[in-house]
Amino acid sequence: AELQRSAAYGDFAELKEAIQAATMWNFIYTPAELGPILPVSRSWNFVKHASSVDFEYVIFDWDNIFASYLTGLDHSPQAKAIAYSNLIQVIRSRTTAGFVPNFSAG
């Protein structure tokens, strides 16, 4: 089924698969974020004293917004849902003054 979805992109099928592989490589779900996220790295994090390695991640606003855009280029409902969730998690990291910081972690 996945290859059939990629075939719909014609000459760009291989490019679609590469972008999907890159954005989905770090795809995770944590209860703290209320939805799936696409952190840029699982090994680069700013979480101090994490209770589990599953909660070691960082959300960078520019990187995560770009990952949302790339994921949203896939026309499937699943990809759109992941892209929207990731974008929402970035905006949820805003401060009480409404400022979206460069990063948030854990």
Those residues of the chain that have pLDDT short of 70 are 45-47, 54-55, 106
Q: Pick the closest to residue 106 from 5, 40, 30, 21 (CA basis).
A: 30
CA pair distance 16, 72, nearest whole angstrom: 11
pTM above 0.85, yes or no: no
pLDDT digits (tens, 9 = 90+) for 36-56: 999 877 777 666 777 777 667
CA pair distance 5, 16, nearest whole angstrom: 10
Q: For 36, left (φ over 0), alpha (ψ -120 to 50), or beta? A: beta
Number of structural domains in the chain:
1
pLDDT of residue 5: 85
Range of the domain at 61: 2-105
CA pair distance 98, 79, nearest whole angstrom: 28
CA pair distance 42, 38, nearest whole angstrom: 10
